[in-house]
A and B are shown apart, each in its own frame.
Chain A
């Protein structure tokens, strides 16, 4: 069964159409990347799947179920999202504990103390952090909390919106390792939006290159690793990245 299936998806913000006729089929357990520059519509697709960009036509189905346009309680337990900015994605006046308990309270799930401690352990945060406020945490720790929040409802699919681009290189490595481990342990499906091709190479199985709201190319990550992307625009992106890393590598 496919985890996420998009069919001829058009998404608009107000009067402007930002995504044109995108079709994708992401298998359960797969890690798929949407790659492109800012304004290519990759984040918008993520927001539409999550229910945050309700103005779309076409079809989106999640784990075989067609999805409604708005935010949906049933979908919430299957799909969760991790945002880019670890500074903006946590409520500044709530302790980590309150942030993590909230989804359980919304869905009336009991045994909260135990669940919070369990998920904190899964994302590698000491229990000391449980009652801290976000401003007492570093960027990497905040991103761990954001991942923990997404895991609270035990979803099958995680939408990751540039999960490491606001972090330092060494912290990025920690978060990438964490994401990779979680996926292995819990059999999660990832849909990752990023502009960073090395991250795709580390974390994903397949990728779609996007430009101007359209998919330019869908490729296997092996093709990316061997520089065998077909479309000229994909090659351009690759060159822009490679030009910089070849000096060291």
Chain B
């Protein structure tokens, strides 16, 4: 196996409160090649903070420490804010939860995608337009010319999220971090958006970190899964073997989900105190 694209060792994120510093990520380690990694957990598990910490997007007074945080041989810990800006977007991109808050309301979709592209690459105007159209096409927007001229409030949720993906992928990053990319969308649109991400990631040979609270979704779109709870990784397994998960937390999560053919009279409930460590 070749050297991993991203390696994280003993990553810790903490925030000060009036009862002292509280760690929300408590020393997690993982490596990522050109593969699709899912990070699953419930709210407060530290999954989103992990994604943000990799991009150094944790603002003060939050504190990130790690024994190792390397992307393609670059030590991310040692990068200045300016150097990080060159990496963000161009080499590692992030898709956030709600397109409504991530898109600038006073710029057209096309302008925003163009900006994402031009920030990292000098290109002729014509070429920029062509690239945008091609990109919008690849996120399955059928009439890219029209959509490029729309403002964010004129597009639907699913379309907005596809625009976000186009924006994030147009500089051709090597790693995409998607933080709950579809939880604001309808079920049928969810599948569509994830299929698009999946296609692009596989065809371009990128790495993907998919952060979600939804075990099923992650197991469907990833190769490998990390299950997080209370800031630690409680289980790591191949996506196909999720049903053989051994940790009681993972098993509890799986059992707590109702199924479409539900015959249980009562759903099993997690005993939170058992592994929360408090």
Q: Interface residues, chain A, CB within 8 Å of chain B? A: 37-38, 139, 168-174, 176-177, 180, 195, 197-199, 201-202, 224-227, 236-238, 240-245, 247-249
Contacts and interface: CB of A to CB of B under 8 A. Distances in A.
Given A174-B269, A177-B269, A248-B242, A238 B186 contact: no
Contacts of A171: 42
Interface string B30-61: 00000000000011000000000000000000
A225 to B, nearest CB: 4
A170 B220 contact: no
B261 A226 contact: yes
B216 A244 contact: yes
Interface stretch (B123-131, B164-172, B251-259): B251-259
Residue of A195, A202, A237 contacting most chain B CB atoms (<10 Å): A202
A243 B214 CA distance: 14
A169 B257 contact: yes
B191 A244 contact: yes
Given A176-B267, A180-B266, A240-B191, A198 B260 contact: yes
A225 B191 contact: no
B32 to A, nearest CB: 22
Nearest to B220: A247
Contacts of A245: 216, 257, 259-260
Nearest to B183: A165
B107 to A, nearest CB: 25
A106 B13 CA distance: 48
Nearest to A233: B188
Contact of A201 (B42, B186, B220, B261): B261
Contact of B260 (A168, A177, A224): A224
A173 B256 contact: yes
A202 B189 CA distance: 24
Nearest to B219: A247
B260 A242 contact: yes
A162 to B, nearest CB: 12
Contacts of B268: 173
B258 A199 contact: yes
A43 B242 CA distance: 35
Contacts of A180: 265-266
A226 B262 CA distance: 10
Contacts of A242: 260
A241 B261 CA distance: 12
A226 to B, nearest CB: 7
B84 interface: no
Interface in B153-170: 157
A238 B260 contact: yes
Contacts of B157: 38
Interface in B209-239: 213-217, 219-220
A197 B261 CA distance: 10
A118 B181 CA distance: 42
A195 B187 contact: yes
A240 B257 CA distance: 16
Interface residues of B, number: 36
B215 A248 contact: yes
A178 to B, nearest CB: 10
A201 B252 contact: no
B190 interface: yes
Contacts of A38: 157, 186
B270 interface: yes
Contacts of B269: 170, 173-174, 177
B142 interface: no
Contacts of B187: 37, 195, 237, 240-241
Residue of B43, B262, B269 contacting most chain A CB atoms (<10 Å): B262
Nearest to B43: A168
Given A169-B257, A201-B259, A201-B260, A248 B219 contact: yes
A201 B260 CA distance: 6
B243 interface: yes
B229 to A, nearest CB: 10
Nearest to A37: B186
B250 to A, nearest CB: 11
A197 B267 contact: no
A174 B269 CA distance: 6
Given A169-B42, A173-B267, A237-B187, A248 B260 contact: no
A195 B81 CA distance: 42
Residue of A38, A172, A199, A244 contacting most chain B CB atoms (<10 Å): A244
B55 to A, nearest CB: 25
Contacts of B215: 169, 248
Residue of B213, B253, B258, B270 contacting most chain A CB atoms (<10 Å): B258
